[in-house]
A = this chain, B = another copy of it.
Amino acid sequence: MKFGYFDDANKEYVIQTPKTPYPWINYLGNEQFFGLISNTAGGYSFYRDARLRRLTRYRYNNVPLDNGGRYFYVHDEGDYWTPGWMPVKRDLDFYECRHGLGYTSITGERNGLKVNQLAFVPLGFNAEVYRVKVSNVSDSPKRVSLFSYLEFCLWNAHDDMTNFQRNLSISEVEIEDSVIYHKTEYRERRNHYAYYSVNRRIDGFDTDRDTFLGAFNGLDTPQVASEGKSGNSVASGWSPIASHGIHLELAPGEEQSLIFMLGYVENPQEEKWESLNVINKKPAKAMIEAFATDAQVDSALADLAAYWDGLLGKYSIQSSDDKLSLMVNIWNPYQCMVTFNMSRSASYFESGIGRGMGFRDSNQDLLGFVHQIPDRARERIIDIASTQFDDGGAYHQYQPLTKQGNNEVGSGFNDDPLWLITGTAAYIKETGDYGILDEDVPFDSGRQGSATLFEHLKRSFDHVTNNLGPHGLPLIGRADWNDCLNLNCFSEEPGESFQTTTNLDGKTAESVFIAGLFVFAGPDYAELARRRGLEDEATRAEREIENMRKITIEHGFDGDWFLRAYDYHGEKIGSRENEEGQIFIEPQGFCVMAGIGVEEGLAEKALNSVRDRLETDYGIMLQQPAYSKYYLNLGEISTYPPGYKENAGIFCHNNPWVTIAETVIGRGDRAFETYAKIAPAYLEDISEVHRMEPYVYSQMIAGRDAVREGEAKNSWLTGTAAWNYVAITQAILGIQPDYDGLRIDPCIPQAWDGYKITRSFRGAEYKISIQNPDHVSKGVKSVTVDGSPIESNVLPVFEAGSSHEVVVVLG
């Protein structure tokens, strides 16, 4: 069952009913100011940090769910309603929500009145702009009132929801002209305030929540909207809100446009005040002036569209499969960019108050956006590497504001260091910027000296070989991907963190996954060493990699698939010897991606085992059989009820590893099958089961053992986006940035006739036509560039600004 449709021409997902199975959201903002907005206008806004600079209040897991946002109440002769249906839930004659790239437009119509609210964050501004268009589509004149509404958060979102004995006494506002200023704590140490403006004279206002709502009322029945009259309340303590009250007279057919703006302003210390306790409003007024007219709004919207065209234009496909095209051209790269902006901080599942960027996460996210904004990728690589320790180990998380490693979680996640090699290599392949390797980068933010980035990669590489276990496989440490297999933890205390509790010495438990990752990432390290003229180091590295490859086959293969690990007692995990958890997805994907066992036929065996034992209609489960009880020696993975999350859920992040692995052994049909199984556009028709947005990936889909099999959770912020982007654009469609050019090596379903890709690479444009006359899955028979055949399937690097026609024939 569908709840909307893809409008590819406008790059929008159009939702046709407010009653989606879950709030379906979008993100506003690309730089410093961000907003989350649902299809019923719920959500919230923040400046840079969703915990420390939350502008508006949002209550997670509330009843009703998604109750709170930036609302516009219409009062029409005693009747009142909201164009997004929620929160008033009055029946609408027409409803539509269009989630576009960086904007959301919601339209509701009732009794001859049409209201459209369009929300976006203009480039270059720390503000959200809402254009509200009110149209009289009836035959009679209409006198209506419009009441804006949003509730301010007292900046620190965590403190805001815990420290009431203080917070209910401190809120302060100012009201001047049509602008409401929220200035709580500005009189003391804050130098920032928020404002909510509208570009016309108001007839009333409210800043005190209780006055606006009336006692005992919810957002569905606010007294002001019900009575059609503002209370003109001035907040003093309790809960500050902003509401403008505006009377409108509309002739039949008339449309009026109002521009609201929720802005964030920081003032220098010496310019904080206009007079005693009167804030300096100049910067706010300048921002408001920039959005005083519809023409200004239109122009900003055009800029935003151009911005996204620029980013998404770096890679686009023309194919006969519309769903494939819209995933590749629009929604998958869009999600990659949102994930870059948010990391794992703020979604409808992430409450925005957890702190820190993951070392492992950030390196993987980068794979999805490096071609869109290589400069920001470069900056992020340096940030990440700066938190590495001088022994190659890494803080598992770091703070985006301070760029310091997070002591609470600490280090000891032994896969972390390797991801830095993969992330850096991807950046260099995309850009050719070897100079990044010479950057002087601190260890532990300078507490342990510094070295070149290349030296950081060496320490990453060596951190694995310096931490090997009894079988010669890498020690797992606290955990590897995805933090839930905790082999040195042995926790019996409720609520204790599995990631930060290490009860045992950690010198036994080994990870086959890290072995695979080492063999996968290692060659990039060797290649980079060689390109720096360090032939000996390259050779040494290759020897280590080859050694690990052998050990993995010797001690990491279990007959039909790769083992997952050895536990603290030296017992196998992910083996047919186990009663539960006999086979895991991660080592199958990663070992094959690394090429381990391909020649020996083990790779195919492993992937067949995945297909036979882990695959479901909804994707590939993490392991089987699910753990039915808690295993002290395994940790968090066994805490989840069977079928959810890491305990045999379909943890989408690792599904593309299997997809990529299938391309390694040339099985294009299987590769695309596994790709399409979890690609959201292909799930649109079963939205009532999947429940999450059909335009973005979710972190998890409930597996076969779950009561709610096929139901997704944790949409938007997941490494799934980046890895599936890699899987489809590079592994399947076969456009692979490489050190010396753009490698073309598709692995596709045999039935495909071909497709066209436009790829921007190091400033040049490649218009690539892939033709598959022989209906093969893999194998490049010929390549012509601008009409001339070339020998290699690696397209050369061209002059920036040039454009080239490429024809690739498979066979």
Contacts and interface: CB of A to CB of B under 8 A. Distances in A.
Interface in A729-773: none
A491 interface: yes
A350 B165 contact: yes
Interface string A171-192: 0100000000000010111110
Nearest to A172: B641
A216 B86 contact: yes
A19 B215 contact: yes
A169 interface: yes
Contacts of A641: 169-170, 172, 187, 236-237
A713 interface: yes
Given A216-B89, A494-B155, A645-B169, A187 B351 contact: no
A161 B61 contact: yes
Interface string A281-311: 0000000000000000000000000000000
A792 interface: no
B216 A64 contact: yes
A537 to B, nearest CB: 41
Copies in the complex: 2
Interface string A318-356: 000000000000000000000000001000011101100
A168 interface: yes
Interface in A402-459: none
A639 interface: yes
B630 A236 contact: no
B236 A492 contact: no
B276 A629 contact: yes
Contact of A630 (B189, B237, B628): B189
Contacts of A397: none
A572 B188 CA distance: 22
Contacts of A9: none
Contacts of A234: 707
A162 B351 contact: yes
Contacts of A276: 628-629
Interface string A49-74: 00010000001111111011000000
Given A168-B349, A170-B640, A495-B156, A63 B277 contact: no
A169 B636 CA distance: 13
Interface string A191-204: 10000000000000
B169 A640 contact: yes
A496 interface: yes
B63 A630 contact: no
Contacts of A700: 169
Given A170-B640, A170-B641, 17 more contacts: A21-B215, A61-B164, A63-B219, A65-B216, A89-B216, A159-B495, A161-B351, A165-B344, A166-B645, A169-B700, A189-B496, A189-B639, A236-B706, A237-B707, A237-B713, A276-B629, A277-B628
Interface of A: 19, 21, 52, 59-65, 67-68, 86, 89, 155-156, 158-159, 161-166, 168-170, 172, 185, 187-191, 209, 213, 215-220, 234, 236-237, 239, 276-277, 344, 349-351, 353-354, 491-496, 628-630, 638-641, 644-645, 649, 699-700, 702, 706-708, 713-714
For the complex of A and B, the 9 pairs showing the least CB-CB separation, nearest first, are: A236-B707, A188-B630, A169-B644, A188-B639, A190-B494, A189-B494, A64-B218, A164-B349, A165-B349
9 contacts: A19-B215, A61-B161, A61-B239, A163-B351, A164-B351, A165-B699, A188-B638, A218-B218, A234-B707
